[in-house]
Each structure stands twice: as C-alpha cells, then as structure tokens.
Chains A and B, each alone.
Chain A
Amino acid sequence: GENVEQHPSTLSVQEGDSAVIKCTYSDSASNYFPWYKQELGKRPQLIIDIRSNVGEKKDQRIAVTLNKTAKHFSLHITETQPEDSAVYFCAASRTGGFKTIFGAGTRLFVKA
C-alpha cells in the first residue's frame, strides 16, 4: 500500500542552526504534501504545504522542496529557535481521495 517514510526520527540542533527533515512517498499520484507541527501536549497544526505543480515554497524561516521524479520532499527550517522544538509530520495525499498518509514523525530538539 501507499506509505511515506520520514527521516530522521529524532533531530537535535543548536539554536540558530538549520534543520532538515526528509520524506519519501510511494504513490506517484500524490499531489499534495502538507507538513504538520505538533508541540508537546498539543494538536498537530499545518505549518506549510506544497502542491505538485511547484518545486519549492517558502514562508519566513520554513521552506519545503519537492522532487516529483525522485518522490522526495523536504522541510527546511533556518535560524532555529527553541519554540521550533516539536514533532513534525510530513504527509502525502492525492486529489479526489480522502486518505492522507502520514510519516512517522520527527522529534526536533532545538538547544538554547
């Protein structure tokens, strides 16, 4: 079945450094790739998404890149801050479908 692999499972960076989380999807028909952030004890919330008609999208310190040929997409966080510490989930889905396939999550620690 469809799946999304996410790496690394844990990432620890120094405040101010960059963090990169990578995902690979299996369903070539996937065309929507959201990223959700879940802070400790809170609900997941969408932080950025990308559709398959673009290769990159940026929103302040976060950016997402998509390589459709390789079926890879990545989340980049620059100038990390302690409040970026959370679990990040990548996901993939397709138009006309209702199933979103989530990655296993990456726990990001930003050390002050």
Chain B
Amino acid sequence: DVKVTQSSRYLVKRTGEKVFLECVQDMDHENMFWYRQDPGLGLRLIYFSYDVKMKEKGDIPEGYSVSREKKERFSLILESASTNQTSMYLCASSPPGGATAEAFFGQGTRLTVV
C-alpha cells in the first residue's frame, strides 16, 4: 500500500516567515509533485520532480521553491510567506509514466499565514 506522508496536517505561520513543507513517500516513485488546492480552483501544480535533484516549475511556482535531495523526500519551501499563500497543500508521487500514471496523494497540509 503506497504511503505518502506530509509532515504536518495544520500549520500557522506569520507573514514573512520561511516555511518548509515536507513530504515522504515509501514506494520508490521517481515522480513527486506539489499541488495547491483552493475552493473553485481545483488542484494547481506548483512544482514537480522526476528524479533526485531535478525540479521543474508547474503552473504557479511564484513564491515557492522545492528541494529533492533524496528520492523519497520532496520539500516545498515558501521563502517569505504571504497571506495569499494560505491554502491546502497536497504532495503526490507517481511511478514511471509521468502524468499518465496514477498519482498517490498525501493527506494534505492546511497552511494559514497570518
């Protein structure tokens, strides 16, 4: 059973803070993704990675960066948190096949920036 685990379910951070969201998967998947989920907007891709140390921008990368130093771990970094980054963040992983393979999601991190 694939497990994708996000380090926190809920986070409250102050404007301007540097925020780290961690994601770990245990299925040796090459591909990992960070999405942001907002009501009425669905899931929007922030960044993805198809290999260790490789990263690509998604559709809304502004204000975010990522790190993938190990295959199982993919971190999302908010360099200077702003209130418009208050959202639900979902990590996902998938086996080879890129976007045409099933994505396995973490349980989500609800981030509030005050």
Binding site for B on A (CB under 8 A): 1, 4, 6, 9, 31-32, 34, 36, 42-46, 49, 51, 89, 93-100, 102-105
Contacts and interface: CB of A to CB of B under 8 A. Distances in A.
Interface string B18-53: 000000000000010101000011111100101000
Given A43-B105, A44-B105, A96 B98 contact: yes
Given A44-B105, A99-B58, A102-B35, 10 more contacts: A36-B105, A43-B90, A43-B108, A93-B98, A94-B99, A97-B98, A97-B100, A98-B56, A99-B99, A104-B41
B108 A1 contact: no
Chain A facing B: main interface SS: loop
Contacts, number: 64
Contact of B59 (A6, A31, A32, A99): A99
Nearest to A43: B105
A99 B106 CA distance: 18
A55 to B, nearest CB: 18
Contacts of A102: 35, 42-44
